Structure 1
Amino acid sequence: MTPSQRFLAKLGLKDPVPESHEDQQPESTGHNSRRSFLKRTTLGGIALGTASALWPVEDLIAQTTQKVSRYSNPSDLRITDMRYCIIQNVGRTPIIRIDTNQGIYGLGEVRDGADERYALMLKSRILNQNPCNVEMLFKTVKQFGGHARQGGGVSAVEMALWDLCGKAYNVPVWQLLGGRYRDKVRLYADTPEAPNFEEFKKRVKHRIEDQGMTWLKMDISIGEVKALEGALVNSKFWGSNLAQWQGGYMDYANIKHPFTAIQITEKGLDGMAQIVSDVRSAVGYEIPISSDHYGHFDLNNAIRWGKKVEPFRLAWLEDMVPWEFTDQYKKMSDALETPVLTGEDIYLLSGFKPLIDTGSVDIVHPDLATAGGILETKRIGDYAEEKGVAMAMHFAGSPVSFMANVHCAAATQNFLALEHHSLDNPWWESLVKTLDGKKLFEKGYAQVPNTPGLGIELVEEEVKKHLLPTNKTYFAPTPEWNDIRSHDRLWS
């Protein structure tokens, strides 16, 4: 009796009947016979240690994993292309698609308002690589990212790699991050604009009761009181609009807060505070209200403003001064009772560490499409959690980045709320379909999917309706970005 026959006898099984004439080979060369045995029996993982001495490891693995559902053979996946389109969302939002040799692809998004070339220049660094090696590829390309929109390319690639990896292994991205803490993700949205206070109250009621929002954020700027005589000091030097996002290099919009010399008088502070009071009276005190976009004025005026609105118990004061002034955030945080927050323009965990380590912020606020993508944003949250700092998430993009945020938020314990900047956009959700057929969000909460990857696919006909008029490209091949033309190592 051969060793194989003795093993079969112990299991109460007969020698397998060959599947074809070609399988009738001597036991000494019976690879097909062993394969046939594994196919015909229910051995699976039974007596694996004993069986491994008799059959090749690859046969045993094939047998024991035959019921594992995958969309591909992950170890043989290779990146073959990176393509893009640009939709008219918050100005412009590029979406990238990373294709592979096995027909599956991953979706990512360059941050709103950024250039698709931040991502396309990375194609040559990841071409022909296995997309499931997410960390290695991230470390390869992260040197080409930067703060604010410059982090958009690296973050887009990282999102798409996780989407691919989840599809390859047939699991949701949150599972690849270590599992989830929640099955739905709380959203926050802007307070609605209105021509008068009565209309504002109606729209707030719609926001809360119909749309189901349980967290709101309001913009309150010195621009609200610029027409009030005696409200501001030195504002007329900068012109009449005090726009925060337009202008040349030396215009008000691009001068950092400490350098404008604008001050707010008590009359100005009272006028701004009255607006906060009105909003709080319309919303009530059960729902958190955050605040943002105050204009460009210095630390001392920021502290005066923060103290003025303390009675209204705002959830946070956002980006009062530029994020890189850690010492100023420390002074502000020490001086105020209202939580201080920043982070939407910070790239990588290393950029957040000074603020967290010094206790300069009460809440971190990364934008996943700037911060470095899904895993890096989770790392930011995890690091902040160790220091007793919570994490909210800034977001103003398409459903692609939205779902990347949802997976990250589900897997991060100290998460508070995720911004939804397109709540009133009627076509925003139609850009994608979910793999489980559920809505992206409902009644103020996003659904955490149990489907592979990010859990969404683009709806081609809908996306094409909203392409940027000046660039109608829809995922065309990009061979011009294939070649590496530099030596990238940062050390000698």
Structure 2
Amino acid sequence: MKNNLKELISKNKQEEKAYADARKAEINNPKTGDKRRDFLKKTALGGIALSSFMGYSFEDTVAETTSKVNRSSSPSELKITDMRYALTAVMGGTAIIRIDTNQGIYGLGEVRDAADVRYALMLKARILGKNPCNVEKIFKSIKQFGGPSRQAGGVCAVEMALWDLCGKAYNVPAWQLLGGRYRDKVRLYADTPEASSPEEQQRLINFRVKEQGYTWLKMDVSIGELKGIPGTVVNGKFWEDNKGSLNQWGDQRNYMSYGNTAHPFTQIQITEKGLEHLQQVVENVRNMVGYEIPISTDHYGHFDLNNGIRLAKALDKYRLAWFEDMIPWQHTEQWKTISDAIETPTTTGEDIHYLENFKPLIHNRSVDIVHPDLASSGGLLETKRIADYAEEFGIAMAMHQAGTPVSFMANVHCAAATQNFLALEHHSVDLPWWESLVKMTGKEKMIDKGFSPVPLDSPGLGIELNLDVIKEHLDPRDKSFFAPTDEWNELRSHDRTYS
């Protein structure tokens, strides 16, 4: 054991000497800038020698000498130098961005699922040279370029990456920068898989609950379930696509398609026969799951508030956790009408950007639960503000998430720092390579039996990219993989919104 320790001491001294010599050479180099030279002098290594730990046990010595000491970060002198991205194959194309700095540390963010990475790239010229630790200041300068739903993807991606950078610079987890944590693990909710038979569905549910450990599930209760069943929907044929489906994610270029027509304007109605069939679908799942596990619902179809109320009343007796996005979020008064008419909690918010757009729903108590997607709602701090504001009105928060582990971990830190949090969506439960896109930098797992342990011993978001796995799962439309983005360096407009 002593020989091993002597070898460690010798190796450490060699590394320290090489490190000190390299820094001295850079300081004496006439090409080194004054700021960089000052930084090197301020952060000179104080000679952490293993010989000073000779009285320690071997285990204590290794623990002390391998502790994560950030030798290169001087937070007040950090500057953003670059932004690059990789487009993953998650959810039809989800981009991870990397913001680099002059001190070698970088931050990770994510442009929301199925959003254009150019929402983030257009912001590059607006953040170059800025100190990433001034998160709120930078956010205020770029938030004007975010809009509803995926249009806010760029702003939120940058905000995530800034908190990751700031946490790394100060060597603390992101939740600590948000004010501390309320919990040590974050509860997740997962989709209830559909199956071709009741027996198969029971098997899949048992796998989800008993083996994977999820304690909260979500299922779709869509009029899509009524396809091919005559007499269940009024005016549905008019809106069907060429496959005979009511597809809300159909051709986005067809402005007058079913998927692009807001709920109040389709005049689709569900008949009593249709309601009975959907009621049976929910009853089957509730009987399989039991009543100890909450079941949330989503994706009903594009029909008006009257039919939404009829559907909700038919399902009230199953004590569902919530009805989600029954109508567009903008119709605040209609949401109030639905919430007042039914017993089951209501929720919306995955397409709402920023606190100011949540306020009408919260003030009016139009929903029982707010449901932001952090990759649209403004990032970590703005989402915490949304939750805190809702808490003042007695409204809880659940969190929508359908992206890569980068966005997932940003949500975990925000949820940890938020008191009125209920559950976080995990949309890629059955994607075998999803978790391996990143590596956890601390001791905790990313997901453990239906919960996500809050990182307690790793800075920032607590993850690093697993580059080999990302390369294997790039979106085929863009294989550039963190290539230079110099064409986005130049600022070409004056952005102030007032004269």
Q: Which residue of 1 aligns with 2:100?
A: 99
Q: Which residue of 2 aligns with 1:249?
A: 255
Structure 1, unaligned stretches of length 5 or more?
1-34, 41-66
Residues 472 and 301 (structure 1), Cα distance of their counterparts in 2 relative to 1, 3 Å cut: same
Are positions 1:453 and 2:460 aligned together? yes
Q: For 2:359 and 2:84, how far apart are their aligned partners in 1? A: 34
- Post-superposition offset of 1:134: 0.3
Q: Deviations over 1:209-255 (max 9, x none)?
A: 00000000000111111322211111111122000111311011110
Amino acid at match of 2:481: Y
Q: Is the 8 A contact 1:84 1:94 kept in 2?
A: yes
Are positions 1:475 and 2:479 aligned together? no
- Post-superposition offset of 1:360: 0.2
Q: Which residue of 1 aligns with 2:83?
A: 82
Amino acid at match of 1:204: I
1:84-483 to structure 2, matched below 5 A, reads 84-239=85-240, 240-247=244-251, 248-450=254-456, 451-483=458-490
Q: Is the 8 A contact 1:216 1:287 kept in 2?
A: yes
SS at match of 1:252: coil
SS at match of 2:219: strand
Q: For 1:68 and 1:176, how far apart are their aligned partners in 2? A: 18
Amino acid at match of 1:86: L
Q: For 2:249 and 2:142, how far apart are their aligned partners in 1? A: 29
Q: For 2:412 and 2:375, how far apart are their aligned partners in 1? A: 13
Q: Is the 8 A contact 1:70 1:169 kept in 2?
A: no
- Post-superposition offset of 1:121: 0.3
326-335 vs 430-439, which deviates more? 430-439
Which one has the largest radius of gyration?
Answer: 1
Residues 365 and 70 (structure 1), Cα distance of their counterparts in 2 relative to 1, 3 Å cut: farther
- Post-superposition offset of 1:477: 1.7
Q: Report % sequence identity.
A: 68
Q: For 1:484 and 1:68, how far apart are their aligned partners in 2? A: 37
Matched positions, count: 429
- Post-superposition offset of 1:257: 0.4
Q: Deviations over 1:47-77 (max 9, x none)?
A: xxxxxxxxxxxxxxxxxxxx98665000110
Q: For 2:90 and 2:185, how far apart are their aligned partners in 1? A: 24
SS at match of 1:442: coil
SS at match of 1:254: coil
Q: Is the 8 A contact 1:70 1:168 kept in 2?
A: no
Q: For 1:149 and 1:68, how far apart are their aligned partners in 2? A: 38
Q: Which residue of 2 aligns with 1:490?
A: 497
Amino acid at match of 1:368: L
Residues 283 and 370 (structure 1), Cα distance of their counterparts in 2 relative to 1, 3 Å cut: same
- Post-superposition offset of 1:275: 0.1
Q: For 2:223 and 2:69, how far apart are their aligned partners in 1? A: 59
Amino acid at match of 1:139: K
- Post-superposition offset of 1:193: 2.1
Q: For 1:283 and 1:354, how far apart are their aligned partners in 2? A: 36
Q: For 2:101 and 2:305, how far apart are their aligned partners in 1? A: 50
Q: For 2:271 and 2:85, how far apart are their aligned partners in 1? A: 49
1:47-58 to structure 2, matched below 5 A, reads none
SS at match of 1:469: coil
Amino acid at match of 1:380: I
SS at match of 1:291: strand
Q: For 2:178 and 2:71, how far apart are their aligned partners in 1? A: 18
86-95 vs 468-477, which deviates more? 468-477
Q: For 1:161 and 1:221, how far apart are their aligned partners in 2? A: 39
Please provide the CA RMSD for this pair. 1.4
- Post-superposition offset of 1:436: 1.3
SS at match of 2:259: helix
Q: Which residue of 1 aligns with 2:5?
A: none
Structure 2 length-normalised TM:
0.85
Q: Is the 8 A contact 1:71 1:167 kept in 2?
A: no
Q: Which residue of 1 aligns with 2:63?
A: none
Structure 1 length-normalised TM:
0.86
Q: Deviations over 1:70-104 (max 9, x none)?
A: 65000110000000000000110000000000000
Q: For 1:390 and 1:70, how far apart are their aligned partners in 2? A: 41
Q: For 2:484 and 2:78, how far apart are their aligned partners in 1? A: 19
SS at match of 2:445: coil
Amino acid at match of 1:482: N
Q: Where do 4+ consecutive residues of structure 1 move more than 3 Å?
A: 67-71
SS at match of 2:484: coil
SS at match of 1:253: coil
Q: Which residue of 2 aligns with 1:63?
A: none
Amino acid at match of 1:405: N
Q: For 1:95 and 1:447, how far apart are their aligned partners in 2? A: 22
Q: Deviations over 1:190-212 (max 9, x none)?
A: 00121111100011001000000
Amino acid at match of 2:434: W
Amino acid at match of 2:119: Y
- Post-superposition offset of 1:478: 1.0
Residues 70 and 385 (structure 1), Cα distance of their counterparts in 2 relative to 1, 3 Å cut: farther
190-199 vs 129-138, which deviates more? 190-199
